[in-house]
Amino acid sequence: MSVALYQNGEAVDLFRYEDADQRFAGSFGVQKTGHTFAVPIVEEMLGTSLRLHLEAVDFHGLVSKSEELVLPVKADQPPNIAISNPVDGAHFVAGLPIEIRADATDDIRIQRVDFYVSDRLAGSDTRHPYGFQYETTAGLAQEQSLKIFAVAIDSRSQQARSADVFVTLGKDEQPPVVNIVSPEISGTEGGDPLAEVIEESEIVVKIAGYDNVAVDRLELRGIEQQGSQYVLTGNPEHVLAGDAFAPQQIPGALHAFSALKLVRAPLFSGAAGIEHDRYPVEITATDRTGNSSTAAMVIAVGPDLAPTIVQVGSDLERYFAKDPVTLDIQARDDLAVTSLEVDYYVDGAAAAVLSDSRLLDIPAANVQTKFTLDLATLGLTNEPHTVRAAIVAVDNRGRRSDAAGPFNFEFQVAADTTAPLAGISRPIQGASLYHDEAVAVHWKAVDESPLNTIEFLVNGSPIYSRNLSGRSQDGQFSYTLPASGEELLINLVTTDVFGNRASTNWRYALVSDEPPVIAIRNPAQGSRLIEGEPFTLTASITDNRKVNSAVFFIEQAGQRLSAKSFSASAIAAAQADGRYLSAGLRVPHRPEGQEAPIKIGVRATDDAGLSAEKLLDMEILDDLEAPPASAWIGRTAPSA
């Protein structure tokens, strides 16, 4: 295939395409290709129009033409450019960068944009959006005017210059912003912001802020370094500065910073009529140009208060004398609760019958934990009782919550007068069971208190017994049924640890296993068939339990002449489908003289080993018809 480019009716370029591998391929597949033609545009074409079209000729000479494309030829125009940022008259701080942005367009393509500051090339950009970040000189003593403009250059090196933008570069006169963010301010006193802390606790003093340039030094007053520790003193002559309290710069345009120290609060004086001791703290932040800001607060050091028990709850409303009790305890402290203690008293006794304590894995100002008490360890009788839990919390400084007495929580212990519940789940009560059969008896017992014993009796004699534990238990045992009788009565007796007793009777019908029942459906009894004649023996087989096997047979003198056997699954499938079992047989030779008689019938055995047999009463007739005979001439006999 060849493709020609026509310009104003004349062929100016030709492209040939040939795929040797596809030359003899079928016409059902379409071959595709692409090509780019380059058309030179010369100055003589200005003001005219170019008419372009393509003509493609395939291997068989068939021609296809494209639509004509008309393109007017114009001269390349110079680019356009304008500064979009900064605006004329803007003010900037010396030492901070100025972001210069420009909008440039061209009828073909912008090659690059050059940015000038004070008539000097500062930088260039070749991709839209066009911009440049100009780094200003820091530390100017007086304001300075900057002239900014940009030059756009297109693909033919034509240039265009933007209008001049004049901005002022001056000294930074904006002070930084600084705050004390920790400890948290909780109120005011005498116009001073107040942050309350606990005596001899460790607190975090954290400073944060930002500046338009950058903060390069901090001074923290009222805190003194004593060895490896920092101590709150409130003395303005105690100053942390330089490397001892340097600002940590946070990356970003905001020029944010932070700094912190772990400080130990002093001991509360405890003077009469004073709720807390005041310790003024002051922070001064200074930026690179010398601008500074100061923030101040008063840290109020108060006494360490004793912990308190907030609330106590139990998992149940009442209990029995052998139940486990779970207490959910919540305690709170101004510093940290480190341990909990619980003493248990019964029925108003002055002495505790049991004590328990727990050291918390993670001390905290607000804790919640669980205590478990096994009432069985208290040796309570099966009568109503009142148990009191006296609870005390201890903080990390050894202060206890029982200065005015412990937190008391009472719960009631009731007498258990309800007998256990027990039953046999298998076999189902009322089911028919077979004499001499071994059955698996499945049982379950439950009670509100721990179980003690379970016993099964038949005719007053135990057949199974067991000691129990817990509030719910199940199990099974094997029992061989009696060889006679019409009913089985099992007496089930259960007791709990308090002597509550329950007795229930479970009744079952006792029946004897019957052999299978066989009914021959075809041929009918008394049928007369000729020896050698084929016939179908059909029968139904049922059993009060399950048929294990069956055989359809023809026998003589104990010898099996013909038979067909059926498995338990085949028999069950026939019973489920409501159909008979059948076997194709052939009538045997009629016995003559002293020959033993022929037996034709069905024999079946159930899963208990009981067998049944049903014989077919059939008269066998002699075959008196002679076979036909034929003669032929040839090498092979004719087909039958």
E strand or H helix at 318, and its extent? strand 318-319
Choose the CATH number for 421-511 among 1.10.357.10, 3.40.50.1820, 2.60.40.10, 1.10.645.10: 2.60.40.10
Average of pLDDT values for 464-478? 94
Q: Tell me: domain 517-621, CATH 2.60.40.10, correct?
A: yes
634 pLDDT exceeds 50? no
**Domain limits, the chain:** 2-72, 80-170, 177-302, 308-413, 421-511, 517-621
Helix (H, G, I), strand (E, B) or coil at 394: strand
CA–CA separation, 195 vs 300, rounded Å? 6
Q: What is the DSSP letter of 40?
A: -
Q: What is the pTM of this model?
A: 0.54
Average of pLDDT values for 158-169? 93
What per-residue confidence (pLDDT) applies to 545?
Answer: 83
CA–CA separation, 420 vs 445, rounded Å? 7
Fold observed for domain 80-170 = Immunoglobulin-like (2.60.40)
Q: What are phi and psi of 433, to 5 degrees?
A: -120, 155
Q: Name the β-bridge partners of 187.
A: 194
398 pLDDT exceeds 50? yes
Say which amino acid occupies 450.
P
635 pLDDT exceeds 70? no
409 pLDDT exceeds 80? yes
pLDDT confidence tier of residue 630, bands split at 50, 70 and 90: very low
CA–CA separation, 43 vs 634, rounded Å? 109
What per-residue confidence (pLDDT) applies to 40?
Answer: 87
pLDDT confidence tier of residue 314, bands split at 50, 70 and 90: very high
Percent of the chain with pLDDT over 90: 68
Residues 6+ apart with CB under 8 A from 150: 81, 83, 100, 102, 104, 113, 114, 115, 116, 130, 161, 162
pLDDT tens for each residue of 584-617: 999 998 888 888 999 999 999 998 888 999 999 9
pLDDT confidence tier of residue 261, bands split at 50, 70 and 90: very high
What per-residue confidence (pLDDT) applies to 194?
Answer: 94
Torsion sign, CA atoms 331, 334, 338, 340: negative
In the block, tokens 């039953």 appear at 423
Percent of the chain with pLDDT over 70: 96
pLDDT confidence tier of residue 503, bands split at 50, 70 and 90: very high
- SS3 percent helix, strand, coil of the chain, rounded to 5, is 5, 55, 40
Q: What are phi and psi of 221, to 5 degrees?
A: -110, 145
What per-residue confidence (pLDDT) applies to 149?
Answer: 96
177-302 against 421-511: fold identical: yes
C-alpha Rg value of the chain to the nearest Å: 55
Q: Quick count: other Cβ atoms within 10 Å of Cβ 537?
A: 24
Torsion sign, CA atoms 566, 567, 572, 577: negative
Choose the CATH number for 308-413 among 1.10.645.10, 2.60.40.10, 3.90.180.10, 3.40.50.10480: 2.60.40.10
In degrees, rounded to 5, the angle at the alpha carbon of residue 69 between the alpha carbons of residues 66 and 74 is 160
Q: 177-302, which class in CATH?
A: mainly beta
Between 539 and 640, where is the model more confident?
A: 539
Nearest to 11 by CA among 22, 2, 21, 20: 2
What per-residue confidence (pLDDT) applies to 177?
Answer: 94
What per-residue confidence (pLDDT) applies to 23?
Answer: 63
Question: What is the residue-averaged pLDDT of the chain?
Answer: 90
pLDDT tens for each residue of 89-143: 998 888 888 999 999 999 889 999 999 999 999 999 999 999 999 998 877 778 8
pLDDT confidence tier of residue 367, bands split at 50, 70 and 90: very high
**Alpha-helical segments (H) within 180-240:** none
pLDDT tens for each residue of 185-217: 999 998 899 999 999 899 999 999 998 888 889
CA–CA separation, 271 vs 273, rounded Å? 6
pLDDT tens for each residue of 13-72: 888 888 766 665 555 556 788 889 888 888 788 888 889 999 998 877 888 898 999 988
